[in-house]
Structure 1
Amino acid sequence: MRARESERPFPDPNPERSRPVVPPPEPTAGHWAGAPSACLADGKIHLAYRLRRPVGEGRGYAVVIARATDDGERFETLGTVHKDRLDTESLERPALVRTEEGRWRLYVSCATPGTKHWRVEVLEADSPERLAGASADVVLPGSAGVGVKDPVILRHGGKWHLWASCHPLEEWDEADRMVTDYATSADGLDWTWHGTVLRGRPGLWDARGARVTTVVPHQGHIFAYYDGRASAAENYEERTGLALGTGIGGVLLAQGDAPIAESAHHGSGLRYLCAVPLPGGYGWRLYYEATRADGAHELRTEVHRGSRPRVR
């Protein structure tokens, strides 16, 4: 099963046509702004993203909730969730969701102190401005043998769907390995796991792991964009690939033997791709985290205008 680029919901990401959205906290390696999650509500793009310092200086220290002041390049901050209010050593990729009832949820990836374990907690409020002050509850605890992080959440066909990065914890030095597991829920809180749908391929660029970052149902297919790396040395500098499925919860087939997008700078990292329909519905806006020439990571965006996205 292969998909030509003309059959995809939007063209492959190209950092040369992208624009910066959020700079890193400092212009040096180990400082990151990125891991975005975007959604469209009330005609405005809403965005959650992670801020990070180097290991030893705080790691992922905040998740910012923001709303676009234009069509998706400039944002006003609505609130910030600092890691100090959660029992975590580091925060990673969030998932920002508006429910059908009009409530707002922020699913946050949290590193359990003193371990390689990750879990996901959820904050819920009646507006995005109130999310930062909402109480947090563990919704994806993982287990003693598996860490769970970086959720991708989609409402489709009257059901909640989730793809999450799962890390085996049997060996300390191997905990960076990752696969993507799939789960469903009736309410977005109580999840049932259905197994692994995407994993790395031995000998290829994604051999060390594959982490789904956005899922788009399009013309009868499921297009899943994912982060991959070949080795532990490429941790934090994943590149973007594409996988294809025929059923929303089915196994995803990685496309091609090379990534579809990477940065031209140090480390080649282009990761955590997120896609959201443009206000008005004609085209897509992509957000992703990209490595800069100075080794820092910044949040960037690019837009693909065209016909109304056919998502069903």
Structure 2
Amino acid sequence: MTTEITTLPLPRWDDSTVVVEPPSGEPGAWSGAPSAVAADGFVYLAYRLRLPIGEGRGISNVVARSADGLNFTPVAEVTKDRFGAESLERPAIVRTPAGKWRLYVSAATPGTKHWRVDLLEADTPEGLAGAEPRTVLAGDEAAGVKDPVLHHDAYGWHLWASVHPLERWADADRMTTEYATSPDGVHWTWRGTALTPRPGTWDARGVRVSSVQVDGDEITVAYDGRATAGENWEERTGVARGRRRSDGSFGPLTAEEREPLGSPHAPNGLRYLSVVTMPDGSGRIYYEATRQDGAHDLRSEPA
């Protein structure tokens, strides 16, 4: 166990509040996969609603607004039919330096294990509901791409996404986190693998960066991990670290040797951490977690 103290705020559970209930109270019904950003005195939260397999899976992505970070009012919603998708996964909401609003949507190709990422862009959060999708991370026959996390700084746009191998159906749940850069947040260049599973550990089957915190040339991330295919959808949360390269891009990440964070309710899923600085300067975290009946709810707590 490491003695290093992370500066990335992590869930403590006891202080958490449910901000979005799942659409039903059964395993496979989820609200979660949150992505949060603060702007114009509000917190905007994008999240996914899901039903069990056979009942619809990821049915929609919602964008909601809140003044206090706890009580949210939906302002836009896009359904899987809009993308011709079998399911939607984690969205990423971003406000560009020019003031545009973007929603990066993870869409599943019907009848396959393939995923791609489409982009919606509008002048307002409400306008995202009617924006025309365009594919920005297509994946290919060998890999599906989803769940992007974005960061913008003086060096341009940075993105970390989970990538799934598609050579064999039974192995398509495996995942690494791959890193890309872009001058505009639309056209991306893959720069290499950022984080890989560690054999024999709690994250041996797959790893997915969920939140990024940059401090100068240092980067600290939260990530989701699982040890087996059976833990798919019930990942737990760990921490990894890395550094910026001389060209402004970020190098590979190294996982901390620490026990993962999970829900107290079996099978203990706690994933998709998102961190936001509130308009008053305080911090708040959002995440998806397993509750007692096996459904997942979207929770928040002070950072």
- Specify the TM-score bucket, using the shorter chain as the normaliser: over 0.9
Matched, 1:264 2:277: no
Please list every run of at least 4 consecutive aligned residues from structure 1 whose deviation after the TM superposition is greater than 3 angstroms. Answer: none
Report the equivalent of 2:60: 62
8 A contact 2:238–2:258 mirrored in 1: no
Does the 8 A contact of 1:48 with 1:65 survive in 2? yes
1:253 aligns with 2:254: yes
SS in 1 for 2:267: helix
What residue number does 1:286 align with?
Answer: 285
**Cα shift at 1:258:** 2.1
**Unaligned 5+ residue runs, structure 1?**
305-312
Secondary structure in 2 matching 1:47: strand
1:64-84 Cα offsets, whole Å, 9 max, x none, are 01111x320011110110111
Matched, 1:22 2:20: yes
Query: Residue in 1 aligned with 2:123?
Result: 126
Number of equivalenced pairs: 298
Which of 146, 154, 158 aligns to 1:157? It is: 154
- Bigger CA drift: 216-225 or 165-174? 216-225
CA contact under 8 A between 1:48 and 1:66: conserved in structure 2? yes
Cα distance in 1 for residues equivalent to 2:243 and 2:199: 23
- In structure 2, runs of 5+ residues without a counterpart are none
Output the amino acid matched with 1:129.
E
**What's the CA shift string for 1:20-62, capped at 9, x where partnerless?**
0000001111100000001111121101000000011000000
Aligned equivalent of 1:310:
none
1:255-292 alpha-carbon deviations (Å, 9 max, x no partner): 01421x110002100000000112122x3210000000
- TM-score, length-normalised on structure 2? 0.96
One-letter code aligned to 2:174: R
Greater shift after overlay, 294-303 or 214-223? Answer: 214-223
State the TM-score, normalizing by the size of structure 1: 0.93
SS of aligned partner of 1:66: strand
Q: Distance in 1 between matches of 2:167 and 2:111?
A: 15
Provide the residue aligned with 1:178 in structure 2.
175
- Separation of aligned partners in 2, 1:258 and 1:219: 27
Q: C-alpha distance in 1, partners of 2:31/2:11?
A: 18
Query: Per the alignment, in what secondary structure is the counterpart of residue 14 of structure 2?
Result: helix
1:45 matched to 2:58? The reply is no
SS of the counterpart of 1:84?
Answer: helix
Counterpart position of 2:113:
116
Please tell me whether the aligned partners of residues 266 and 294 of structure 1 are also in contact (alpha carbons under 8 angstroms): no
In the alignment, which residue of structure 2 is the partner of 1:309?
none
* Match in the other structure for 1:222: 219
Superposition deviation, residue 4 in structure 1? 2.2
